[in-house]
Structure 1
Amino acid sequence: MNDESPAMKLVHVLRAVTVEFDLLGSEFAARHGLHPTDVRALIHLLDAARDDIAATPGWLGRRMRLNSAGTTALVDRLERLELVRRTKDTVDRRRVLLKVEDKAMELGWSFFGPLIAEVVAVAEDFDTSEVETVRRFLTAVLTSARQTRTA
Structure 2
Amino acid sequence: MVDNSILVRLLRQLTIETDRFAEIFGEKQRMHRTDLNALALIMDARWTGEPMSPGRLAEALHMSPSATTAVLDRLEASGHVHRTRSAHDRRKVELHVNDSALELGRAFFVPLNEALTRAWDEFADRDKEVIARFLGASIDATKAVRAGLTG
User: Which TM class, normalised by the smaller chain length?
Assistant: over 0.9
Instruction: State the AA in 2 paired with 1:20.
Output: E
Q: CA deviation at 1:11?
A: 1.1
Give the structure, 1 or 2, with the largest relative contact order (CA under 8 Å, sep 6 or more): 2
Aligned position for 2:81: 84
Distance 2:90 2:121 in 1: 45
Query: Which consecutive segments of 4 or more residues in structure 1 shift more than 3 A?
Result: none
TM-score (norm 2): 0.94
Distance 1:58 1:40 in 2: 15
Q: CA deviation at 1:124?
A: 2.3
Distance 1:94 1:74 in 2: 21
Q: CA deviation at 1:22?
A: 0.5
Distance 1:116 1:147 in 2: 28
Where do residues 1-151 of structure 1 align in structure 2 (5 Å cutoff)?
6-151=3-148
Distance 2:105 2:51 in 1: 21
Q: CA deviation at 1:123?
A: 2.0
Task: Give the secondary-structure state (helix, strand or coil) at the position aligned to 1:87.
Answer: strand
String of CA shifts for 1:82-132, please: whole Å, max 9, x gaps: 000001100001111000001111111111111011112222221111000
TM-score (norm 1): 0.94
Distance 2:30 2:100 in 1: 14
Distance 1:20 1:114 in 2: 15
Instruction: State the AA in 2 paired with 1:125.
Output: E
Distance 1:91 1:53 in 2: 12
Distance 1:53 1:106 in 2: 22
Percent of aligned pairs with the same amino acid: 34
Task: Give the secondary-structure state (helix, strand or coil) at the position aligned to 1:66.
Answer: coil
What runs of 5+ residues in structure 1 fail to find an aligned partner?
none
Task: Give the secondary-structure state (helix, strand or coil) at the position aligned to 2:67.
Answer: helix
